[in-house]
Structure 1
């Protein structure tokens, strides 16, 4: 299904998706990917929803190995979100929506990064809208057939 007839070449835009591919900027990918409005389209090493871990989400958000500050409790307890962190991660779980377990999403939610899991089709459309509004959003999308 084609999503947009034209796209801004300066921004990563989901231009289509189908049973076994996701198309970003009119380039087709036959595997899971993650990306933001600017920068590279990255291969996501997740094959099915059950492979999604807190570490996988942390990597998608660009947080790497952020260590908790053992003295953070003195400043109110909650870890701080890095200034360049995304506002929200959109997780496309394939043909159907699959909710992620709380222990997977909690580490990012605790630092103020929203996580929304939805079908890949809905995530692609939502990403395009948020990206066009200038929001700091990252999409991690499983192709429709891989997410079963």
Structure 2
């Protein structure tokens, strides 16, 4: 039994992923990206987990989400808390998952009307 709408009204939806590409609203993205619950999908200039910096999380902060779902690539990897200190200080929750889990979780939260942002690392790993 299906519990979710096929398309979200007025928001972004991730329709599929394969590790090298994520489709948002039917459009393919082959590089890391930020998917806010509403508004424009943004490139996230990051190609390797090891290259994460505070600036990457500052870009997320500018979107003003209430919750961030960080898709750390093909496998789950946790960023050092110092990197996302700005989100913690702004009382924005951060959940880390592998890419597939992050895509699924984002869709559920966005369909509930939550102010969620998916920060998705697409890496060649």
- Which TM-score applies when normalising by structure 1? 0.76
In structure 2, relative to structure 1, the CA distance for the partners of 1:95 and 1:39 (3 Å cut) is: same
1:39 aligns with 2:18: no
Query: 1:141 is matched with which residue?
Result: 120
* TM-superposed deviation, 1:147: 5.7
Q: Does the 8 A contact of 1:127 with 1:139 survive in 2? A: yes
Q: Does the 8 A contact of 1:7 with 1:13 survive in 2? A: yes
- Is there any run of 5+ residues in structure 1 with no aligned partner, and where? 64-84
Query: 1:67 is matched with which residue?
Result: none
- Is there any run of 5+ residues in structure 2 with no aligned partner, and where? none
Q: Which has the higher contact order (CA 8 A, sep 6+)?
A: 2
1:102 paired residue among 76, 81, 86: 81
1:119 paired residue among 98, 116, 122: 98
Number of residue pairs aligned between Structure 1 and Structure 2: 122
Bigger Cα Rg: 1
Q: C-alpha separation between the residues in 1 aligned to 2:118 and 2:124?
A: 15
Q: C-alpha separation between the residues in 2 aligned to 1:125 and 1:29?
A: 16
Q: CA RMSD in A?
A: 1.8
* TM-superposed deviation, 1:25: 0.7
